[in-house]
Amino acid sequence: MADYYEVLGVERSANEDEIKRAYRKMSRKYHPDIAGPEFEDKFKEVNNAYQVLSDPDKKRMYDSGVDPNDPNAGGYGAGGFDMGDMGDIFGQFFGGAFGGASQGPVPRTQQGRDSLARVSIDLKTAVFGGTAHVKINTFGLCQQCGGSGSANGEQPVTCPDCGGRGVRQKVVRTMLGQMMTTAPCERCEGHGTIISNPCPACMGHGRVRTTREVGVTIPAGIADDARLRLANQGEVGEGGGPAGDLYIDIRIKADKRFTRDGDDLHCWVQIPMSWAVLGHDLDIDTFDGEETLSIPAGCQPEQTVMLKGLGVTRMRRGDERGDLIAHIGVHVPTKLSDEERDLIERFANSHDTDSQHIAQSSKPDGGSARKGFFGKLKDALS
């Protein structure tokens, strides 16, 4: 029995959220559209594991030692014998006369699989929303036959071997004697019909491998690593069947000016020490254009100044935005002329009268008795 916990890379004690996160990670890693067609079997294995572990009843059955995906295991999970399985067994030998599910032609039109793609956006698009474009390599509808699989619009003909039933009966010898069993028709592959003149473009499948560009609407305020679902934008199914869904994983590229923390934006601004002492208004770039940042007089290094409402749009409240927070850095000159040094020393002597009385503290502020700004500057230049 396959170890589904090992397939998803989780412990047996994993909860529903942990299983879901693990599935998303593994499905991105092994999806054939991303990892390559050689990983299709591994992708199916991941999906099978998630189908079992995400369903409470199937998970309970699996934890008790029975694999719900094993066709030979159904009905035996609790040690009993399910009469539905008895019907299936007799149905194999007697064509459903004992209540088993009757077999019939397999439809040519099948539902397409879901597809997965990634797109990278800049931080400004995440703030305001917008449109991104992604190229996907997937199955699309065959334009030459319109999905029918037949050339020149010809209709499939009834299979002469099975008479359109999709299955054939044959007599087999068993220890109980001769019995009748059914199996899919080899000539029509269970469809009941044969495409006499397949479309040369799709070879009768009704779909072809194609690369197309998809426009993705990015909602304002979207987070990094979010996943969007585009209904019916995945791969087209066999026989021109309905398309699956397309899932888009969003990656937000690093910005040179701002970092994001939730709905707030942060930037770092270096100012001369005179602006920190006297205060100053300066213009900075924001995603809304140039805005005035007012530095208060006596501004300290690493102090922050906030610009309200210039952050990231709040997804659940589109009319609200976070804030832009500027972290102030003070540039201290390392070389002074004799006249400049004399001015600094005179100011320090008159202003930092308590510079020799330092209070030691485990907190950044250090208490009320702190060495003044110019006292620190004087020490730095000594």
Binding-site residues for Zn(2+), in ranges, read 142, 145, 159, 162, 185, 188, 199, 202
* Residues annotated in a binding site: 142, 145, 159, 162, 185, 188, 199, 202
Query: Count of CB atoms within 10 A of residue 9's CB?
Result: 14
Give the residue among 181, 32, 45 at the shortest CA–CA distance from 117: 32
Q: Under a CB-based contact definition with an 8 Å cutoff, are residues 284 and 305 in contact?
A: no
Q: Does an H or E element contain 210, and which?
A: strand 207-218
Q: Under a CB-based contact definition with an 8 Å cutoff, are residues 121 and 254 in contact?
A: no
Residues 6+ apart with CB under 8 A from 212: 135, 136, 138, 140
Phi, psi at 206, each rounded to 5°: 80, 5
Distance from C-alpha of 350 to C-alpha of 342, rounded to nearest angstrom: 12
Q: Under a CB-based contact definition with an 8 Å cutoff, are residues 119 and 203 in contact?
A: no
With tokens 């987070």, the residue in question is 223
